Amino acid sequence: MHLHSITVADPPLRSSYGLHAPYALRTIIELKTDDGITGISETYGGDGPVAALEALRDRLTGMDPFRLAELYQQMNQPVSDGDRSQTYLLPGENPLDQNARTFAAIEIACLDIIGKAIGKPVCDIIGGRVRDLVPFSAYLFYKHAGGGGSGNDRREDEYGEVLDSPSAVREATQMIARYGFREIKLKGGVLPPDVEISTIRALHQEFGDAYPLRIDPNCAWSVETSVRVGRSLHQELSGGGYLEDPCPTLDGMAEVHRCLVAENNHTPLASNVAVTNFADVPRARSREAVQIVLCDPHYWGGMRQVQHLSHLCGVLGMGLSMHSNSHLGVSLMAMTHVAAACPNLTYACDTHYPWQTAADEVVAGGRIPIENGCVRIPDKPGLGVELDYDQLARGRERYSKLSYRKRDDEAEMRTHVDPNWKRILPRW
Ligand code: GKR
Ligand code: MG
């Protein structure tokens, strides 16, 4: 097992967590077999995820990459339905889901090995694809000027400052012109709710009903504000859109849903904050707090678990979408393969990929194309991508010079925007 800690330039994107730092942290995993096959995957970066993977080194050495269920069983003891829901941690940082994240990084690299060993794409060894083209959404962020990176290593700022509705429409127009997305997500919880309502209205006016809209303030609103926003945006969010994690806790979301339904507003609520594990699903469903679960192979325990989740959501009458965090092409391919093999994927997946640039891509051949809003399953075995070792070395070099080893959007916000800034939930 080779672990590569790298950094990826990241623009100053805003969310209710704070501000993105100039570099995001990622880990690239290589698993080498004794018959010369290398499987790869990409996961969260920094000291914590690397230490968790290192701790598995002895267990993995000599392991049969086909025997994944056994490893999963050893690493993931069944979790009881306690009060698991996280509303304050950065996504991907819930300690209760750490083993699921670590297992996922190994599982994906093993599936890449298996695909390469038998000459089949990963989506076709986990049950087979139901689509060749996987749709992604245009993931809009309010942002400060800057394209990410620092010093002489700054990236070009493609989108400029986006801190009001007209600039958000401009950002969407640019992103859609370049990638052809057909669904739009706005990361909210940054500007006062009335400004974010105006932004969604402006996007709806610009793109019309053909482009479903979703807004995700990451729990920045109270129940009352969430209901007010849901009411104000009834028309704009119905017709294929959703309201994502408007307020903290499953109880809060259940209350928002009840109030909206009482007004005959059936805008679905989605979550990647209150529901991050199978143990969260029963309460989310029985309380009618969440109608759409956002899966993510990186923290749901890998691709096979996401397929189980897709099936479970189908049985429970829930929708399924996909969450993302800042990532490169290896992650994008893992997300694409599993999405291709999930029949019950009811929305275009999220991806941060447009926010990263070719200068940071570690996939050989450069950036993975997104055309007409979709990523195509490559006609190649495994994940269908290989590593560019020069690029990987550049990523490692940047990592070695970086002063931080953990994402801290709150600290970044205090350094660059407001020295007194604190994450307050709910803020509005
Ligand atoms: O990149 O700032 C961000 C997002 O807020 C990300 O951390 C979230 O995980 O994409 C996310 C979401 O909540 O949907
Ligand atoms: Mg979200």
* Per-residue pLDDT, 90: 78
**Which residue CA neighbors atom 6 of ligand 1 most closely?**
325
Q: What is the average pLDDT score of the chain?
A: 96
Q: How many residues does the chain have?
A: 428
Taking 60 as the threshold, does the pLDDT of residue 397 lie above it?
yes
8 Å CB contact between 339 and 303:
no
Q: How far is the CA of 360 from the centre of ligand 1 (A)?
A: 20
**Which residue CA neighbors atom 9 of ligand 1 most closely?**
91
Of residues 297, 405, 330, 294, the one with CA closest to residue 24: 405
Whole-structure pTM value = 0.97
Task: Write the CB contacts of 337 (distance below 8 Å, at least 6 apart in sequence).
Answer: 121, 122, 123, 126, 303, 377, 383, 384
Q: How far is the CA of 187 from the centre of ligand 1 (A)?
A: 8
In DSSP notation, 304-324 reads HHHHHHHHHHHHTT-EEEE--
Q: Which two tokens stand for residue 312?
A: 């479970």
Q: Which atom of ligand 1 is nearest to the CA of 294?
A: 14
* Per-residue pLDDT, 91: 73
8 Å CB contact between 110 and 68:
yes
Taking 80 as the threshold, does the pLDDT of residue 81 lie above it?
no
Mean pLDDT on 164-184? 98
Helices (H) and strands (E) counted in the chain, each on its own, are 15, 14
The domain locations on the chain are 1-401
Mean pLDDT on 345-369? 98
Phi, psi (rounded to 5 degrees) for 94 = -65, 115
pLDDT band of 5, cuts 50, 70, 90: very high
pLDDT band of 84, cuts 50, 70, 90: low
**Which residue CA neighbors atom 12 of ligand 1 most closely?**
323
Of residues 149, 147, 189, 187, the one with CA closest to residue 168: 187
Mean pLDDT on 348-370? 98
Determine which helix (DSSP H) or strand (DSSP E) holds 293, and give its type and residue range: strand 292-295
* Per-residue pLDDT, 89: 78
**Chain segment 64-79, per-residue pLDDT in tens:** 999 999 999 999 876 6
Q: Which ligand lies nearest the alpha carbon of 143?
A: 1
Taking 70 as the threshold, does the pLDDT of residue 80 lie above it?
no
pLDDT band of 97, cuts 50, 70, 90: confident
Of residues 351, 260, 297, the one with CA closest to residue 308: 297
Mean pLDDT on 105-112? 98
* Per-residue pLDDT, 94: 83
Q: How far is the CA of 325 from the centre of ligand 1 (A)?
A: 6
- CATH fold, domain 1-401, is TIM Barrel (3.20.20)
Taking 80 as the threshold, does the pLDDT of residue 146 lie above it?
yes
Q: Is 110 left (phi over 0), alpha (psi -120 to 50) or beta?
A: alpha
* Per-residue pLDDT, 86: 62
Taking 80 as the threshold, does the pLDDT of residue 177 lie above it?
yes
**Which residue CA neighbors atom 5 of ligand 1 most closely?**
15
Q: Which ligand lies nearest the alpha carbon of 92?
A: 1
User: What are the catalytic residues?
Assistant: 187, 323
* Per-residue pLDDT, 76: 85
Ligand 1 site-directed mutation target among 14, 136, 187, 407, most atoms within 8 Å of CB: 187
Ligand 1 site-directed mutation target among 184, 215, 216, 349, most atoms within 8 Å of CB: 216
- In three-state secondary structure terms, 40 is strand
Of residues 201, 122, 134, 187, the one with CA closest to residue 347: 134
Q: How far is the CA of 29 from the centre of ligand 2 (A)?
A: 26
- Residue 352 or residue 97, greater confidence: 352
Task: Write the CB contacts of 323 (distance below 8 Å, at least 6 apart in sequence).
Answer: 91, 272, 294, 295, 296, 350
* Per-residue pLDDT, 83: 54
Q: How far is the CA of 379 from the centre of ligand 1 (A)?
A: 31
Among residues of the chain, what percentage have pLDDT more than 70? 97
* Per-residue pLDDT, 82: 59
Residues with CB under 6 A from ligand 1: 13, 15, 17, 91, 187, 216, 218, 272, 323-326, 350
8 Å CB contact between 176 and 138:
yes
Ligand 1 site-directed mutation target among 162, 218, 298, most atoms within 8 Å of CB: 218
Task: Write the CB contacts of 227 (distance below 8 Å, at least 6 apart in sequence).
Answer: 256, 259, 260
* Per-residue pLDDT, 271: 96
